[in-house]
Amino acid sequence: MVKKAFLFPVLFAVLTACAQTKMQQNSVYTTKEATADGTGKFYFGREIAAVMGAAGADWLERNNRQQEENTTLAISKLPITAASVVADIGAGTGYYTFRIAKKVPQGKVYAVEVQDEFIRYLNQKKKELGQQNVQVIKGSETSPNLPDASVDLAIMVDVYHELLYPHEVLQALHKALKPGGKLLLLEYRAEDPKIEIKELHKLSVAQANKELAANGFKLFQRNEFLPIQHFLLYQKVD
């Protein structure tokens, strides 16, 4: 009986500590009733968009994507060399991954994905293309699971607005980037109402700057040469 009486306070203390830790982790977020296409979870006043699942693979590989987004131009403007290490966060079908891999023959591209369907797709495509400098990584909702100080450039193409834990992912990316490493966001322009993309799947420069600054990044370069997307390049602040 003495042992049981002793264990109950200890167990209560452990559970309380776990609950407090969880509350601290979630303190950067607020929750409200979800809107259409939203999660009901807010970060710096922005409702996080619902994730597009693997069912959207055909849309990612659509024939007119180059015409709509000028992906070739976007890739040509990446700040990389032949030996760069690039992380494609939320790689999806690898539309960007495998095109970038050809630009870094002495380097590497980490294709980071959370969804198992996309992981299988990426591994199969890697095998078909024989692209040995692509490494498929299973990430989590809170981390891309990349080695510390290993990446020159991380990119997120129409992905950032869907991160369920943007604070945690940005903190993890900050650790994964080398000193002076950069993070590129390609996001549909929220400032332009003529862009026919659902509102929660767009992002404004002001909002992006606010969220990135809170996680150790400064805007390094902003370009608007793409048809419908911002090209926002951030640098890690050490």
Instruction: Tell me how crowded residue 187 is: count the other CB atoms within 10 A of its CB.
Output: 24
What span, in angstroms and rounded, lies between the C-alpha atoms of 160 and 202? Answer: 10
Domains of the chain: 30-236 (3.40.50.150)
What span, in angstroms and rounded, lies between the C-alpha atoms of 142 and 9? Answer: 32
Mean pLDDT, the chain, as a whole number?
90
Rounded to 5°, angle at Cα 106 from 105 and 109: 70
Q: For residue 20, what pLDDT band results from cuts at 50, 70 and 90?
A: very low
pTM: 0.87
Instruction: Tell me how crowded residue 185 is: count the other CB atoms within 10 A of its CB.
Output: 25
Distances, alpha carbon 162 to alpha carbons 86, 116, 167, in Å: 20, 17, 12
What span, in angstroms and rounded, lies between the C-alpha atoms of 233 and 142? Answer: 22
Strand order in the sheet with 46-49: 29-31, 38-43, 46-49
For residue 60, give the amino acid letter.
L
pLDDT in tens, 58-117: 778 788 899 999 999 999 999 999 999 999 999 999 999 999 999 999 999 999 999 999
pLDDT in tens, 124-158: 999 999 999 999 999 999 999 999 999 999 999 99
Contacts with 138 (C-beta within 8 Å, 6 or more apart), sequence order: 113, 114, 116, 119, 145
